[in-house]
Amino acid sequence: MWSVFVEALRSSFGTKVGKEQAITEWLTLQYSTSIDDYLDTLINLVWRTGYLEEVAKDKLVRGLNKEVGLAWAQIPNKPEKLEEQMTMLRDIGHNLESFHF
């Protein structure tokens, strides 16, 4: 019986620690050199934190570097859905990244 209790405690604690770690990663996530890495990490953290689409859309834009953020700001009719925004930002990021190489 004790082993079941200990295992349940570990399972519960591990989930809490995992979510807390994901939230910490979320708070520090910023786009730096790879749009693919940024967006893939963002997707993973949305899943791990359980954040809703509106929170994810806010982080998506706030985590951009200045160059990609300026390019995004110049888009007049941005898509509403998170997935569509991510696709558009992935294209922008790829274009800017290939320009720098």
Write the pLDDT tens digit of every residue in 44-97. 999 999 999 999 999 999 999 999 999 999 999 999 999 999 999 999 999 999
> Rounded CA gap, 22 and 68, in Å?
24
Write the pLDDT tens digit of every residue in 25-48. 999 999 998 999 999 999 999 999
Could you tell me if 42 and 63 are in contact, meaning their C-beta atoms sit under 8 angstroms apart? yes
Beta strands (DSSP E) in the chain are none
> Rounded CA gap, 88 and 5, in Å?
48
- Whose tokens are 């925004």? That residue is 85
Please state the separation of Cα 69 from the chain's center in Å. Answer: 15
- Whose tokens are 């569509």? That residue is 84
pTM for this prediction: 0.80
